[in-house]
Structure 1
């Protein structure tokens, strides 16, 4: 695709040094910045923010993110705020995310949702290459417009692809393409008036036990959301949630994250207060 806007890059390389994971090497250009990692659980896991301080993505802008975890590195990465995709006459704003996970490593990639403004075009591709004993918790969240301004499903297009390879073998492929002008996504059986979408993937070395999976399904069914949680063919799960309120989506995200940390991994979890 022709590039006419800003091109931001973030290259982050992590490795284990003693009990801690360190950001061994990094390189960023606007509209991407990274805040220095911090540690707050005693586990050695590195927490950090990826920032885009320019106010959002315009048509023709591109952001390339490359994350590499060495053996046994543990990282939790989020964004400080939602990504705003502004109107564009034709060109898409684009994001490319490449992740490499070494043996025994663990990455929780939990960005804030992407908000698609009126006439916005957004294209995103995520490619993950992981060792079989690594852990990946991957989140994508979407808001179908500026809901508080009654701007819902007025964006032009959303196209997103996720590919996960385990030891170079395809473990997961998911593609979504939405063009609101071409289809009534608010209709019964589709988004049903719920403008917020969450997709979460967990891939690890072993399948979650049935008791844990049923407990998650029951808890989500009691909330005011449309939700589904299923096993993947590769060891792991996929969850999709539709919510009427952004706060509800945040609460469900926190619940899933907590249940994975504590119930599956046996590790402490604390809510992450944003900047």
Structure 2
């Protein structure tokens, strides 16, 4: 977590929820939250449980910390999203905001985490950490889209700093670690091999002991046949991780082409790995 300014009082907000399988489907067994984040709605969703997270504040302010703790019991199937963009507001020179999301999945549990994009305002600083622990047969997938600021206000790469991290365990074995640090004022983001002319970034991760090369081929085929996105080009690639995972990175010059790309990858992964068609309300 970023150091806080001496005069800044850190505000931590917590959301914890557990899911179980009662035979008739997945349901919430217990939950706890502190303002301003909470579960707005949990509902049956085509053979799984849909969960929508609400943030009743303007977003992450200087000194704010959000902590999410998701626990999925055996054979549960949960789809988690939120209502709108995660907005990160300006920070003080030595301040910042942070978010920690923890996912623990028991045997054969499935969590699809598909949040709305993260928007970094001018002078924002965010430490964004995700931790995942998988049991045999469990499936965790997540799509993230990162916006460089409010582009119509000329805020492209005018945030202070972004730290992104993802750690994945299979049982007690560490199988994946990813670290990203972006400091626009100090880095040549437009250099070759870096962001170049792109402004928006997206990642799709899928971890499970069910992952294999066939699934990678399915997702690469999606990337090889993306539809046209008007004047926006999507640059993307997919790879198998060290063990039990697939990582996809994509870049473009707007959020919506990346959102659509992540959606196509997600739909293909659902069908190939789980035999599940696209959710009806997301079908194009």
Whether TM exceeds 0.5 here: the answer is: yes
Q: What is the CA deviation profile of residues 66-90 of structure 1, one whole-angstrom value per residue up to 9, with x for unaligned ones?
A: 0000000110000110011111112
Quote the residue 2:234 is aligned against.
Answer: 225
Tell me the distance in 2 between the aligned counterparts of 1:65 and 1:49. 13
Runs of 4 or more consecutive aligned structure 1 residues displaced over 3 Å after TM superposition: 220-223
Offset of residue 59 of structure 1: 1.2
1:70 aligned to which of 70, 73, 80: 73
Unpaired runs of 5+ in structure 2?
none
Tell me the distance in 2 between the aligned counterparts of 1:214 and 1:122. 31
Quote the residue 1:215 is aligned against.
Answer: 221
Offset of residue 235 of structure 1: 2.1
Offset of residue 156 of structure 1: 0.2
Quote the residue 1:166 is aligned against.
Answer: 170
2:136 aligned with 1:132, yes or no?
yes
Quote the residue 1:28 is aligned against.
Answer: 33
Tell me the distance in 2 between the aligned counterparts of 1:199 and 1:163. 14
Offset of residue 208 of structure 1: 4.2
Q: How does 1:232-251 map to 2 (within 5 A)?
A: 232-251=241-260
1:18 aligned to which of 20, 23, 39: 23
Count of paired positions: 271
Tell me the distance in 2 between the aligned counterparts of 1:29 and 1:61. 13
Tell me the distance in 1 between the aligned counterparts of 2:258 and 2:170. 29
- TM-score where L is the length of structure 2: 0.90
1:85 aligned to which of 81, 84, 88: 88
Quote the residue 1:183 is aligned against.
Answer: 187
Whether the 8 Å contact between 1:7 and 1:31 is mirrored in structure 2 is no
Q: How does 1:149-160 map to 2 (within 5 A)?
A: 149-160=153-164
Tell me the distance in 2 between the aligned counterparts of 1:16 and 1:117. 40
- TM-score where L is the length of structure 1: 0.93
Unpaired runs of 5+ in structure 1?
none
Quote the residue 1:49 is aligned against.
Answer: 52
Q: Does 214-223 or 146-155 show the bigger shift?
A: 214-223
Q: Tell me the secondary structure at the aligned position of residue 99 of structure 2.
A: strand
Q: Does 181-190 or 150-159 show the bigger shift?
A: 181-190
Offset of residue 35 of structure 1: 1.9
Q: What is the CA deviation profile of residues 113-139 of structure 1, one whole-angstrom value per residue up to 9, with x for unaligned ones?
A: 111111001001111111021000022
- How large is the RMSD of aligned CA atoms in angstroms? 1.8
Offset of residue 141 of structure 1: 1.9
Q: Does 210-219 or 72-81 show the bigger shift?
A: 210-219
2:146 aligned to which of 139, 142, 145: 142
Whether the 8 Å contact between 2:145 and 2:255 is mirrored in structure 1 is no
Quote the residue 1:199 is aligned against.
Answer: 203
Q: What is the CA deviation profile of residues 60-110 of structure 1, one whole-angstrom value per residue up to 9, with x for unaligned ones?
A: 100010000000011000011001111111211010111100001000111
Q: Tell me the secondary structure at the aligned position of residue 153 of structure 1.
A: coil
